[in-house]
């Protein structure tokens, strides 16, 4: 039993690391792409505000991941530990592969699919209504962010260029891009830390407060070591971003994710920021979007919960051939 607990903690670290590596771009990738911040400056700010979000509001979504999909606290102890271990492994493996490809996928999709797959493998009761509600929110996340991004860009364009002087605009926009990016980092930490430690909390290995701090540190390590890869994709490969576009996209994404976080719904900050960027870009017309990279992203988004779920299901079935669960 002790070995299982240690392995679960190690896999939790792995998931947290992979989240930091893949999702760091969601916060200030647009600020880097619009040349407001350097990559190094962006990473420092993401570390600080992502950790704050995890510690201050990360508990909301942690409950959903830990107990809302498969009731881990109601399963036999050994079974719940194996579900936690295998789900963490499956989620981590797929996120690392996507990060290597520089593809901003959803770590929320990955862990939710993995938990459901592991639950099915041991015959645990999967809460399908909760899963359906989460899936519905996943569809609306990029759409809502795109609408907000479009609206915010229209409003900010009118305010800045109609009422403010050119010299004042540049300084103000640069400051607001950084501030809104920090807000995105905060909401990302609050929503995504559950992907790392929700199941650790659900099986009772760590208390909810300790789990959130544990996951926050793991995410910080991922940001610092490999976070630069996907930042390049989000920051510059979807469309060319001007500072005011970055501001609009970041503000739209942050508001979007924060609303879901308050209700404890694990959504994708990757979907949110990419949707927001697309909404902002549409103000200038469809031609400015890189549809090739967007097509690859959408395919990865659709595949993520199913791939992680299948990995989780198959690994647990193999384990059951050798160990009675």
Closest CA to 87 of 220, 184, 196: 196
> CA 286, CA 226: separation in Å to the nearest integer?
32
pLDDT at 29: 73
Whose CA is closest to 42, among 53, 30, 52, 54?
Answer: 30
The reported pLDDT for the residue numbered 273 is: 83
Instruction: Determine the pLDDT at residue 223.
Output: 80
Query: If you count DSSP H runs as helices and E runs as strands, how many of each does the chain have, helices first?
Result: 13, 0
Residue 232's pLDDT is: 59
Cα–Cα distance for residue pair 200/96, rounded to 1 Å: 20
In the structure encoding, which two tokens stand for residue 274, read together? 């990419």
Residue 260: φ, ψ to 5°:
-65, -40
Mean pLDDT by runs of 10 across the 325 residues of the chain is: 86 85 72 79 88 85 80 86 92 85 78 93 90 89 94 89 70 88 90 80 80 83 74 57 84 94 87 87 71 73 90 95 85
pLDDT value of residue 313: 96
Q: What are the respective helix, strand and coil percentages of the chain, to the nearest 5?
A: 85, 0, 15
CB 258 within 8 A of CB 14: no
177 and 47 in contact (C-beta within 8 Å)?
no
Cα separation of 204 and 17, whole Å? 21
**Phi/psi of residue 265, nearest 5 degrees:** -100, 120
pLDDT confidence of residue 245: 85
The first and second tokens of residue 127, run together, are 């809460």
DSSP 38: -
Q: Which residue matches tokens 């996340």?
A: 141
């Amino acid at each position: 039993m002790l070995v299982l607990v240690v392995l679960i903690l190690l896999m939790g670290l792995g998931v947290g690391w992979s989240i930091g590596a893949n999702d760091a771009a969601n916060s200030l990738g647009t600020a880097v792409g619009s040349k407001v911040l350097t990559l190094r400056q962006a990473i420092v700010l993401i570390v600080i505000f992502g950790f704050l979000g995890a510690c201050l509001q990360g508990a909301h979504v942690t409950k959903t991941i830990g107990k809302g999909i498969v009731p881990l606290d109601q399963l036999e102890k050994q079974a719940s530990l194996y579900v936690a271990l295998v789900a963490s492994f499956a989620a981590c493996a797929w996120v690392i592969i996507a990060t290597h490809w520089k593809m901003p996928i959803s770590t929320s999709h990955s862990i939710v699919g993995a938990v459901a797959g592991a639950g099915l493998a041991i015959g645990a009761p999967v809460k399908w209504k909760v899963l359906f509600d989460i899936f519905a929110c996943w569809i609306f996340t990029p759409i809502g962010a795109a609408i907000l991004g479009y609206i915010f860009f229209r409003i900010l364009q009118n305010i800045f260029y109609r009422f403010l002087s050119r010299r004042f605009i540049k300084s103000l926009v640069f400051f607001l891009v950084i501030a809104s990016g920090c807000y995105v980092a905060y909401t990302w930490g609050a929503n995504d830390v559950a992907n790392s430690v929700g199941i650790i909390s659900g099986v009772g290995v760590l208390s909810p407060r300790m789990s959130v701090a544990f996951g926050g540190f793991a995410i910080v390590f991922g940001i610092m070591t490999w976070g630069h890869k996907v930042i390049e994709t989000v920051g510059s490969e979807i469309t060319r971003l001007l500072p005011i576009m970055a501001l609009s996209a970041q503000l739209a994404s942050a508001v979007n994710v924060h609303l879901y976080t308050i209700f404890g719904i694990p959504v994708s900050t990757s979907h949110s920021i990419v949707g927001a960027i697309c909404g902002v870009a549409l103000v200038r017309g469809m031609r400015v979007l890189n549809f090739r990279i967007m097509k690859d992203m959408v395919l990865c988004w659709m595949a993520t919960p199913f791939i992680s779920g299948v990995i989780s299901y198959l690994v647990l079935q193999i384990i059951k051939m050798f160990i009675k669960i």
